[in-house]
Structure 1
Amino acid sequence: MSREVIKRWRSFLYVLGALTLLIMAIVAIGLQQLDGEISIRLKTREFLAPTTYWALPDSIHVQNLWKKSEIQALFKSHLYREVLTLDELKTASYLQRTCDSPPFNLTGDELNGKTCWYFRLPETTHPALKEFRQQAFSMRSTSGAERNSGVQPYGGGKVSSEGVLDDSEGSEILQAWVLPRQGQWTATDEVRFEPQRVAQFVGGKPLLQEWTPLGEIPTTCLNSVLGIEDPRFLEHSGINWRGLARAALVNLMSGRFAQGGSTITQQMVKNFFLNSEKTLSRKARELGMAVLLESKLNKDQIFEIYLNIIYLGQSGPFQVHGYSAAARHFFQKRIQDLNLPECALMAAVLNSPGTYDPFTNHEKALKRRHLVLTKMLNNQMISEDEMQAADQAPLPVSNRHSVDESAPYFLEAVHRELSQSESTLEGLQVFTTMNLRAQEAAQRSLLQQLLELEKSNGAVGKLAKSGLHLEGIAVSLEMATGRILAAVGGRGFRTSPFNRILDGKRQIGSLAKPFVYLSAFEQDHSLTPFSTITDEKTSYHLHRQVWTPENYTKKYFGEVSLTFALKNSLNAATAALGMKTGIPLIVSNIHKAGVDSPIEEVPSITLGAMDLKPIEMVEAYLTLSRFGNRIKPRFYEWLVRSQVGAFGTSTVSEQAIEHVAVNPVQALDRDSTAMVLSMMKQGVQSGTSQAIGKSGFSWPAAGKTGTTSDYRDAWFVGFTPWDMTLIWVGYDQNQSHHLTGATGAVPVWLPIMKILSEHRPVNDFPWPEGMKHEQRPTPPDTEPVDLVTR
């Protein structure tokens, strides 16, 4: 070989060596950068700082009426296991037994007809529940004597010849007890279940995710993932070179990215550090990161993160990430309780959640699950018999809460309030006051009524065909606490995200009238619900203008009782009483009740000629229904700020817990509001909202309809001694719909309040001490009615 050739080869080797060193340097720098990215991301745990919203815990109150089957269904809905002895009572389990054990300790005849229930909550961060080790309550069938004395059985059923109701009727809850982790059994008014999660946001994105340690995930689930995704996971160092080569060959032959050949480590890198972009540069970063990750974490840590972050489907607007969230989404189970066919289905879904979603792609999900089971059999993870049994198991049926369209209204109200006081929402657990059943009932009832009106009402139907759709709101509260149990701000958040509860301003119409009568009672102590006023067409001359209020029916009754005038919503009589009482006092009382918007002091406000926000009317009527005792309605009651620890664990310090206090103030005259409330009861029985009384609604109720000029707004606010619901129906464009409060709003109210009242005792309102009941006619009615007077 000549010197020239040797020289050329030597130069080539020098260049090749230099290029090799350069490439190695670039790779080293790249790996160092990737190593830095991995270290920072693992340290910050960005995916573990969600904002979580919880519903109000389900509860069972003393004196409430429940069927045994309903209690069992409630335990089942919370995924509790039934056990047979107290020794077996562990977390998320319950026991039904005789009442001869603590804290009841009944003997002999005391045991007759009584059943006691014990249960233990799963782990929860709810501040009022996390210290409870055990809870218990007792119940018994209601006898005929008690039924006649005012304690009504659920459903108003018949009493057997033995004087005891069976499960078709309902039983009274007698006692409730809690056992703290450190302490003795303590009597209480209610037992409560752990709250259910309503929504979760990570970085502002709707996402459902629960962190579960690897040791709590069933081995069957782990094997199903390994069998279908990465059988050599425990052997390789992050990359399966044979699988990668096979995938490269397939991709080369097909001319596209048909296979990825990814290991679980690579998938964890893609989901946690990178994205799903199919490019060579992204794949190169994935390979480098996979090798580096295996040097930083052991196999258990990698597998644990993977199973907690992998995308597994969609629940309405929320992405479902991780095995625990997916177990609840698909099976309404805790991850620990999944069996072989369920684990196999989860492993089938994770490859392509959209393609193998069992709720929407039944056949594809079955085939993919069969493939998973086959892989498990081939890898000797299951037997032939186990595979055949699992292969025959049915797929789950969607059982998701139907609050996707309405819950955003509620959550938007919570978010708006929190944004004014919290510097950041990351890591915040918000325990809202949302009652899931009430929220679902409010959403369903409102939408059904709006659709029915568009179908059956000619004027409303004509507007609907032109593209103008009727809107509405529904807000329900628990009167004792001010908890807002349901809030539906429109017919659907996706199509109409405007929150009419908080931001809408509408004329309130006849909803103002109870405050006219309240102010009259407050000013003139000689007045009672039996007092009379003249109902006649009258003109009032004020500031060179003439105001002539007219009754809706154009009919006038002459001398009428105040009760008759209010229950029938007579404009002329109410205006006369308001003018006699004085406009400033009426406006003042409306403000005291909870209205902050300015109100012009003009005579027409006696009939509701004022634009107010629905949330203001909610607070005003809450004050009225509480005999003038004002509390602030609230969308949430606990805030817990969690600090994220390693691999999903979180810690909570006492300083991170905030409780929304209830600070009641006696804002209105107690006796005056009591008399108005007793008059409003007559409205439900024989006035403008008498459809409630005629419907068979068996709980005592009071309320007021509201209809504005030209039939632009239809209102109803009604309440029992326990709960209150406000309904509004109308058009955003302020079009006339020819509906009244009775025809537009009351039909929405009834189904909601039946759900809220179903376990409530049928007791009358807790009238203030010192008030008395009188039974007399209320002219022009001749039948005596029971009213409360001073």
Structure 2
Amino acid sequence: MTAKKTSQTTAKKTNSAKSKADKATKANKAAKVNSPVDHSRDSKVKRMTRWLFWLMVKMTVIVLFVLFVYSIYLDGKVRDKFEGQRWQVPVQVFGTVEEYGLGSKLTIANLKQGLIANRYKKVTNVQRPGEFALSKNRAIIYRRAFDFGGGIEAAQQLTIDISNNKVAALYLNDQRVEQLRLEPLLLDRILPESKEDRVLVSLQAVPEKLLDTLLLVEDREFYFHYGVSPLGILRALYQNLLAGRTVQGGSTLTQQLVKNMFLTRDKTLWRKANEAIMALILEYRYSKDQLLEAYINEVYLGQHYANGIYGFGLAAEFYFGKSVQSLNSEQMAMLVGQVKGPSYYDPWRFPERTVERRDLVLRLMYQQEIISQREFEQALESPLSIRKKRRLRQQKFPAYLQLVKAELSRHLSEYQQQSGVRVFTGFSINQQMALQKSIDEQLPNLEKKSGSDLQIAMVVSDFKSGEVRALVGGKEAGYAGFNRALHAQRPIGSLIKPAVFLGALERYQRFNLASLIDDKAITLSSEDGQAWRPKNYDGKYRGQVHLIDALVSSLNVPTVNLGMKLGLDNVAQAIHLLGYQDDIVTRPSMLLGSLNMSPMEINQLYIPLANQGVAEKSHAIERIVSARGETLWQFKALEQQIISTQAAYLLDYALNKVTVSGTARSLTWRVKDKRLAGKTGTTNDLRDSWFVGYDNDLLVTTWLGRDDNKPTKLTGSSGALVLFADFMNKVDAQSRHVNTPASVELVRFDNKSGHAVEQACDNSQLLPAVTTGLIYETQCERDPEQLKKKSWFEKLFGE
């Protein structure tokens, strides 16, 4: 039994071993069978990995290619705007550039008036641009930086010494010079179609303190990053997390510029991506100074009703009524503080917030030593020095601006007018203010005398250059409506007479100032067959009068007789020669001023008469300069001698006599001790009162009348002349002085015959005349009445 059990046990072990061996063999077979399958899976993984890698490479290449192409598109967009017309900038219209040399006419009062109008501040100690100080005979002016058309001229200190109303000495930064000039008055900005107002300023014209403060607050690393600042973003994120709200932005100045200039204000990832790419492009393409200057002019700083305030140049004027160069430390701090949120820190609506923000900026300025401790303490104590009202000042000289706009449209297209051009004109602030003051003082008295509501138009020009210096289109100062100086077509009356007499004096072989003209009743037929019987103003006839007396006394009948002798076509030709453009219907009544003209047209007509026969085009605009300083258009002087110097001199002599003994003789006491020339004009029923007068520099045309064309009860001498005289006193008229031309001499003429005589006699007078071909009589023709009368000597001793 035991052996049997042992045998059975051995058999079981043997069977167990076989079973294990069989299992191992099967496992080996299974391993051999499964081994090729695992290798295949590894290969697939490797292939998948390789495919994904190359897919990523291709996708990256595609993305980079698309990004490259998109960057090219953005680059073109950036360059197109940044190098082209960046903004639709208003046209800036400036007055005349005041230039002073030794001996120039100038008074302290006029200089002060001009400086204040140009927003200079009167101080006791001149320290910064935009300030001036005055004593009895000296002016110290810190002139602001300005581009006169040849590049920016830095701010400089000027000193002008004045003696006897003339410039005695000139100094530039304490160095004596022969000539100085002040930047012109900005008359107005003509807004483009976008209605976007802006005052462009160059980087050189911006105070260094303002630039340092802006960079300190908005982008300290501006000159060191490449458009995007990762550290700045992280720093802003950290500060915002600490505060639990947004207290600091991570955008660089360049990114802000991109956002303002090229993109919308949508807060999306796509916009942020565009912003970053375009910032990098700007940094690559342009210098830091170019970008900073663009930012200075682009940044949004407030709202003026429907119009945005863009750039520090306009913001300085909007908030403080100053140029950016004239800002003090606290004003700079307030403007820089506005960058963060112009609406939130609106000084008119939220002054407390604005002061808090300003003081924070001031504290940063002090910490970085941009301002001293004393400046910091004074600035903290100062109130907000903003303008009292939000509304910007209305244009003060709309009538003159209408003339500028009319000329500008002839010289530049509308597109060119949107590229930031600067227009320099002949406008004189002193003469304009004197003109308006004369109207304010004298017109009420004239209206009282007339018993009616009167209107007025006046044009002042420099007849040597043709520049219109001042212009009034109505009695209301600053009225922008109907401009009577440019558009009121009124009968000109006797103002036409010098043109008639000019036609005679040019024919010196036939006529001279002593020529006798009939002054007898005449009847002429009009075009419709009706009889026309001209009469003199006083209703009298004198038989015969000398040519000069006919003009000096403004006699109608001799003028008509003279015009008919010359021929109506010749008279019309003379009127056109003087500068009248429209067609003229040649009829006898035109000889007495039945033509309708505007004051501006009359002013043009008299320029050659005042300018010794030299024609010049009357104009407001002298020069137009592009934003880059290129001259786009410049007035070219005609300097054309259209009247002989002899005829011009003789006519000027007669017009001077008008102001001494003729219809304008009241000027002898209204403007004392001044030699002037001019002509009165009065139309039928006293509907229009005219006077055109001139001294040695200025030509002034004055019209007075009613808009309803009813009588004014005023003649040219009792109405318009009064305003002319008051204006000439205010501008200190310069006595007329004209050189006698060759072949013109004083000649004695017999009053009875009108012939030149060699010897003096009782009934004769001395008059200038062209002596070429002049025939002299040996003696005067004796008056029969005088022959009957014997002197006591003749009665005692006989003849």
Band the TM-score falls in, shorter-chain normalisation: 0.5 to 0.7
Partner of 1:101: none
Residue pairs, 1:734-753, within 5 angstroms: 734-750=709-725, 752-753=727-728
Partner of 2:201: 211
Distance 1:260 1:734 in 2: 67
The change in CA–CA distance for 1:134 and 1:322 in structure 2 (over 3 A counts) is: closer
Range with bigger deviation, 667-676 or 558-567: 558-567
8 Å contact from structure 1 (residues 212, 324) kept in 2: no
Matched to 1:681, the amino acid is N
Distance 1:552 1:243 in 2: 90
2:461 matches 1:477: yes
Deviation at 1:554, TM superposition (A): 4.2
Give the 3-state SS of the residue equivalent to 1:481 in structure 2: coil
Matched to 1:65, the amino acid is K
The one of 581, 606, 610 equivalent to 1:596 is 581
C-alpha distance after superposition, 1:16-40 (max 9, x if no partner): xxxxx9xxx9x999x9898876565
Give the 3-state SS of the residue equivalent to 2:534 in structure 1: coil
Distance 1:316 1:765 in 2: 55
8 Å contact from structure 1 (residues 56, 433) kept in 2: yes
What stretches of structure 2 of length at least 5 have no aligned partner? 1-58, 223-228, 753-761, 771-799
Distance 1:311 1:492 in 2: 36
Distance 2:307 2:766 in 1: 52
Partner of 2:592: 607
Partner of 2:261: 272
C-alpha distance after superposition, 1:741-766 (max 9, x if no partner): 335433443455455x44x7545334
The change in CA–CA distance for 1:415 and 1:64 in structure 2 (over 3 A counts) is: same
The one of 83, 87, 99 equivalent to 1:47 is 87
Partner of 2:452: 459
The one of 304, 323, 327 equivalent to 2:312 is 323
Partner of 2:567: 582
The one of 314, 320, 324 equivalent to 1:335 is 324
Partner of 2:398: 405
C-alpha distance after superposition, 1:244-286 (max 9, x if no partner): 9999999xxxxxxxx999997786556434678xxxx578887
The one of 662, 676, 683 equivalent to 2:637 is 662
Deviation at 1:604, TM superposition (A): 0.8
8 Å contact from structure 1 (residues 533, 573) kept in 2: yes
8 Å contact from structure 1 (residues 529, 562) kept in 2: yes
2:714 matches 1:714: no
Matched to 2:94, the amino acid is W
Deviation at 1:609, TM superposition (A): 0.7
The change in CA–CA distance for 1:572 and 1:763 in structure 2 (over 3 A counts) is: closer
8 Å contact from structure 2 (residues 106, 167) kept in 1: yes
Range with bigger deviation, 324-333 or 630-639: 324-333
Give the 3-state SS of the residue equivalent to 2:563 in structure 1: helix
Give the 3-state SS of the residue equivalent to 1:726 in structure 2: strand
Give the 3-state SS of the residue equivalent to 1:716 in structure 2: strand
The change in CA–CA distance for 1:783 and 1:455 in structure 2 (over 3 A counts) is: farther
Give the 3-state SS of the residue equivalent to 2:452 in structure 1: helix
C-alpha distance after superposition, 1:612-646 (max 9, x if no partner): 3444322220011122222222333334445xxxx
Distance 2:739 2:474 in 1: 34
Deviation at 1:58, TM superposition (A): 0.4
C-alpha distance after superposition, 1:76-130 (max 9, x if no partner): 9879999xxxxx999999999xxxxxxxxxxxxxxxxx99999999553435x98
Distance 2:521 2:289 in 1: 84
Matched to 2:458, the amino acid is A
Range with bigger deviation, 596-605 or 47-56: 47-56
Partner of 1:3: none
Residue pairs, 1:269-668, within 5 angstroms: 271-273=260-262, 290-292=275-277, 294-297=279-282, 304-310=293-299, 321-327=310-316, 335-347=324-336, 368-369=354-355, 371-374=357-360, 376-377=362-363, 380=367, 386-393=375-382, 395=385, 403-419=396-412, 426=419, 428-442=421-435, 445=438, 457-460=450-453, 470=455, 472-490=456-474, 497-498=481-482, 500-523=484-507, 525=509, 527-529=511-513, 533=517, 535=519, 537-541=521-525, 544-554=529-539, 560-642=545-627, 650=628, 652=630, 658-668=633-643
Matched to 1:727, the amino acid is T
Deviation at 1:400, TM superposition (A): 7.2
The one of 643, 654, 670 equivalent to 1:695 is 670
Deviation at 1:726, TM superposition (A): 1.6
Number of residue pairs aligned between Structure 1 and Structure 2: 672
Matched to 1:408, the amino acid is L
Deviation at 1:192, TM superposition (A): 3.6
Distance 1:231 1:247 in 2: 21
8 Å contact from structure 1 (residues 623, 631) kept in 2: yes
The change in CA–CA distance for 1:206 and 1:515 in structure 2 (over 3 A counts) is: farther
Distance 2:324 2:262 in 1: 25
Distance 2:363 2:152 in 1: 43
Deviation at 1:390, TM superposition (A): 1.9
Partner of 2:789: none
Distance 1:783 1:393 in 2: 82
Deviation at 1:719, TM superposition (A): 0.9
Deviation at 1:512, TM superposition (A): 0.3
Partner of 1:672: 647
Partner of 2:147: 124
Distance 1:43 1:696 in 2: 57
Deviation at 1:505, TM superposition (A): 3.2
Distance 1:667 1:317 in 2: 52
The one of 91, 96, 101 equivalent to 1:56 is 96
2:106 matches 1:66: yes
Deviation at 1:721, TM superposition (A): 1.4
Matched to 1:765, the amino acid is V
8 Å contact from structure 2 (residues 192, 417) kept in 1: no
Matched to 1:597, the amino acid is D
The change in CA–CA distance for 1:68 and 1:357 in structure 2 (over 3 A counts) is: farther
Deviation at 1:411, TM superposition (A): 1.7
Look at both structures and tell me which one has the larger radius of gyration over its CA atoms.
2
Deviation at 1:206, TM superposition (A): 7.0
Give the 3-state SS of the residue equivalent to 1:516 in structure 2: helix
Distance 1:317 1:555 in 2: 66
Range with bigger deviation, 539-548 or 235-244: 235-244
Distance 1:495 1:275 in 2: 40
TM-score, reference length from structure 2: 0.66
TM-score, reference length from structure 1: 0.67
Partner of 2:701: 726
Q: Over aligned residue pairs, what C-alpha RMSD do you find?
A: 5.8
8 Å contact from structure 2 (residues 697, 734) kept in 1: no
Identical-residue share of aligned pairs (%): 25
Deviation at 1:341, TM superposition (A): 2.5
Deviation at 1:772, TM superposition (A): 4.2
